[in-house]
Amino acid sequence: MPRARSSTVPSLFLLACLALLPRMSWALGLADVTGWAQSTWTAAVDTAKTGKDDLYFSGYTWHDPGTYTAAKRATLNSHAWGIGWGRHRINADGNEDMVYALIFSDSHWNAEPVVGYAYQWMFDNDSPVGFGLGYTLALTSRADIFNNIPFPIALPLASIRFGRFSLYGTFIPKVNSNLNNGNVAFFFGRYAF
Protein backbone atom coordinates (compact mmCIF):
# COMPACT_ATOMS: atom_id res chain seq x y z
CA MET A 1 0.00 0.00 0.00
CA PRO A 2 2.69 2.62 0.83
CA ARG A 3 4.42 1.86 -2.52
CA ALA A 4 1.28 2.72 -4.52
CA ARG A 5 0.83 5.94 -2.58
CA SER A 6 4.43 7.05 -3.11
CA SER A 7 4.09 6.67 -6.90
CA THR A 8 0.66 8.34 -6.96
CA VAL A 9 1.60 11.45 -4.97
CA PRO A 10 4.10 12.86 -7.54
CA SER A 11 1.64 12.34 -10.42
CA LEU A 12 -1.21 13.99 -8.51
CA PHE A 13 1.06 16.91 -7.64
CA LEU A 14 2.03 17.26 -11.32
CA LEU A 15 -1.62 17.18 -12.43
CA ALA A 16 -2.51 19.83 -9.83
CA CYS A 17 0.31 22.07 -11.09
CA LEU A 18 -0.89 21.64 -14.68
CA ALA A 19 -4.45 22.52 -13.67
CA LEU A 20 -3.24 25.68 -11.92
CA LEU A 21 -0.90 26.72 -14.75
CA PRO A 22 -3.18 29.42 -16.23
CA ARG A 23 -3.62 31.09 -12.81
CA MET A 24 0.06 30.70 -11.92
CA SER A 25 1.11 32.12 -15.31
CA TRP A 26 -0.95 35.28 -14.68
CA ALA A 27 0.45 35.65 -11.16
CA LEU A 28 4.00 35.26 -12.44
CA GLY A 29 3.48 37.60 -15.40
CA LEU A 30 3.55 34.76 -17.91
CA ALA A 31 0.27 35.50 -19.67
CA ASP A 32 1.71 34.15 -22.93
CA VAL A 33 1.65 30.62 -21.51
CA THR A 34 -2.16 30.63 -21.50
CA GLY A 35 -2.27 31.98 -25.06
CA TRP A 36 0.25 29.39 -26.23
CA ALA A 37 -1.71 26.57 -24.56
CA GLN A 38 -4.95 27.74 -26.19
CA SER A 39 -3.38 28.05 -29.66
CA THR A 40 -1.75 24.62 -29.28
CA TRP A 41 -5.10 23.08 -28.31
CA THR A 42 -6.80 24.77 -31.29
CA ALA A 43 -4.09 23.52 -33.66
CA ALA A 44 -4.46 19.96 -32.34
CA VAL A 45 -8.25 20.02 -32.75
CA ASP A 46 -8.02 21.53 -36.25
CA THR A 47 -5.43 18.90 -37.24
CA ALA A 48 -7.66 16.09 -35.97
CA LYS A 49 -10.60 17.49 -37.95
CA THR A 50 -8.95 18.53 -41.22
CA GLY A 51 -5.57 16.78 -41.39
CA LYS A 52 -4.51 13.97 -43.70
CA ASP A 53 -4.39 10.41 -42.35
CA ASP A 54 -1.07 8.85 -41.33
CA LEU A 55 0.19 5.38 -40.46
CA TYR A 56 2.89 5.34 -37.76
CA PHE A 57 5.30 2.53 -36.99
CA SER A 58 8.22 2.25 -34.61
CA GLY A 59 11.20 0.02 -34.51
CA TYR A 60 14.29 1.13 -32.63
CA THR A 61 15.33 2.49 -29.22
CA TRP A 62 18.94 3.44 -28.48
CA HIS A 63 20.22 3.33 -24.89
CA ASP A 64 23.27 5.55 -24.30
CA PRO A 65 26.34 3.40 -23.46
CA GLY A 66 27.60 6.30 -21.32
CA THR A 67 24.49 6.09 -19.15
CA TYR A 68 23.78 2.34 -19.10
CA THR A 69 26.18 -0.44 -18.23
CA ALA A 70 26.79 -3.10 -20.88
CA ALA A 71 25.13 -5.68 -18.61
CA LYS A 72 22.00 -3.53 -18.28
CA ARG A 73 21.85 -2.73 -22.01
CA ALA A 74 21.98 -6.48 -22.70
CA THR A 75 18.69 -6.88 -20.77
CA LEU A 76 16.88 -4.01 -22.51
CA ASN A 77 14.71 -4.17 -25.61
CA SER A 78 16.11 -2.12 -28.49
CA HIS A 79 13.44 -3.30 -30.93
CA ALA A 80 10.54 -1.05 -30.03
CA TRP A 81 8.10 -2.50 -32.57
CA GLY A 82 4.78 -0.72 -32.67
CA ILE A 83 2.05 0.80 -34.76
CA GLY A 84 -0.19 3.85 -34.66
CA TRP A 85 -2.53 6.18 -36.47
CA GLY A 86 -2.70 9.93 -36.70
CA ARG A 87 -3.29 13.00 -38.79
CA HIS A 88 -1.09 15.86 -39.95
CA ARG A 89 -1.48 19.15 -41.73
CA ILE A 90 0.77 21.88 -43.03
CA ASN A 91 -0.31 25.16 -41.44
CA ALA A 92 -0.38 28.64 -42.99
CA ASP A 93 3.29 29.18 -42.05
CA GLY A 94 4.39 26.01 -43.88
CA ASN A 95 5.05 24.17 -40.63
CA GLU A 96 3.55 20.87 -39.53
CA ASP A 97 0.98 20.00 -36.86
CA MET A 98 0.45 16.32 -35.98
CA VAL A 99 -1.88 14.40 -33.70
CA TYR A 100 -1.17 10.72 -33.14
CA ALA A 101 -1.76 7.58 -31.11
CA LEU A 102 0.98 4.96 -31.02
CA ILE A 103 1.56 1.77 -29.07
CA PHE A 104 4.94 0.03 -29.00
CA SER A 105 7.13 -2.35 -27.02
CA ASP A 106 9.12 -0.32 -24.47
CA SER A 107 12.63 -1.04 -23.17
CA HIS A 108 11.24 -3.72 -20.83
CA TRP A 109 9.01 -5.44 -23.45
CA ASN A 110 5.86 -3.88 -21.99
CA ALA A 111 3.24 -2.20 -24.17
CA GLU A 112 3.59 1.59 -24.01
CA PRO A 113 0.78 3.71 -25.44
CA VAL A 114 1.40 7.34 -26.42
CA VAL A 115 -1.26 9.85 -27.48
CA GLY A 116 -0.06 13.29 -28.42
CA TYR A 117 0.37 16.42 -30.46
CA ALA A 118 3.55 17.49 -32.26
CA TYR A 119 4.66 20.69 -33.94
CA GLN A 120 7.59 20.99 -36.32
CA TRP A 121 9.20 23.92 -38.08
CA MET A 122 9.73 22.55 -41.58
CA PHE A 123 12.67 23.19 -43.91
CA ASP A 124 12.62 22.42 -47.65
CA ASN A 125 9.00 21.34 -47.39
CA ASP A 126 8.37 21.76 -51.14
CA SER A 127 11.31 19.59 -52.24
CA PRO A 128 11.38 15.76 -52.34
CA VAL A 129 13.51 15.68 -49.17
CA GLY A 130 12.51 17.87 -46.21
CA PHE A 131 13.57 18.36 -42.61
CA GLY A 132 11.76 19.31 -39.44
CA LEU A 133 12.62 20.34 -35.89
CA GLY A 134 10.09 20.75 -33.11
CA TYR A 135 8.52 19.16 -30.07
CA THR A 136 5.84 16.74 -28.98
CA LEU A 137 3.45 16.98 -26.03
CA ALA A 138 1.81 13.70 -25.10
CA LEU A 139 0.38 11.37 -22.49
CA THR A 140 1.96 7.99 -21.98
CA SER A 141 1.76 5.12 -19.54
CA ARG A 142 4.54 2.76 -18.40
CA ALA A 143 4.61 -0.16 -16.01
CA ASP A 144 7.96 0.99 -14.54
CA ILE A 145 6.85 4.62 -14.00
CA PHE A 146 3.82 5.40 -11.78
CA ASN A 147 2.53 1.80 -12.15
CA ASN A 148 0.86 2.54 -15.53
CA ILE A 149 -0.86 5.74 -14.34
CA PRO A 150 -0.83 8.04 -17.40
CA PHE A 151 1.56 10.99 -17.20
CA PRO A 152 2.48 13.88 -19.52
CA ILE A 153 5.70 14.12 -21.50
CA ALA A 154 7.29 16.93 -23.50
CA LEU A 155 10.15 15.92 -25.79
CA PRO A 156 12.17 17.36 -28.69
CA LEU A 157 11.39 16.01 -32.16
CA ALA A 158 13.39 15.93 -35.41
CA SER A 159 12.48 14.46 -38.78
CA ILE A 160 13.63 13.84 -42.29
CA ARG A 161 11.02 13.39 -45.01
CA PHE A 162 11.32 11.48 -48.27
CA GLY A 163 8.11 12.11 -50.21
CA ARG A 164 5.28 10.50 -48.19
CA PHE A 165 7.64 8.72 -45.77
CA SER A 166 9.10 10.52 -42.72
CA LEU A 167 11.59 9.25 -40.17
CA TYR A 168 11.32 10.82 -36.68
CA GLY A 169 13.61 10.79 -33.70
CA THR A 170 13.22 12.02 -30.15
CA PHE A 171 15.47 12.01 -27.10
CA ILE A 172 14.53 11.19 -23.51
CA PRO A 173 17.19 12.84 -21.32
CA LYS A 174 18.59 11.59 -18.06
CA VAL A 175 16.73 13.26 -15.17
CA ASN A 176 18.87 12.18 -12.22
CA SER A 177 22.37 10.93 -11.48
CA ASN A 178 21.38 7.26 -11.09
CA LEU A 179 23.06 4.75 -13.36
CA ASN A 180 20.99 2.85 -15.96
CA ASN A 181 18.30 5.40 -16.77
CA GLY A 182 17.78 8.20 -19.26
CA ASN A 183 19.59 9.32 -22.40
CA VAL A 184 17.44 7.20 -24.69
CA ALA A 185 16.77 7.92 -28.36
CA PHE A 186 13.51 6.63 -29.86
CA PHE A 187 12.94 6.36 -33.61
CA PHE A 188 9.67 5.92 -35.48
CA GLY A 189 8.33 6.42 -38.97
CA ARG A 190 5.24 7.78 -40.68
CA TYR A 191 3.59 7.09 -43.99
CA ALA A 192 1.31 9.97 -45.03
CA PHE A 193 -1.73 8.95 -47.09
Q: Which residues are catalytic?
A: 63, 106-107
Q: Distances from the Cα of 23 to the Cαs of 19, 112, 146, 181, in angstroms?
A: 9, 32, 27, 34
Burial class for 92, CB neighbours closer than 10 Å (0-12, 13-18, 19+):
exposed
Tell me how far apart the alpha carbons of residues 140 and 137 are, in angstroms, rounded to a whole number. Answer: 10
Burial class for 118, CB neighbours closer than 10 Å (0-12, 13-18, 19+):
buried
DSSP-assigned letter for residue 60: E
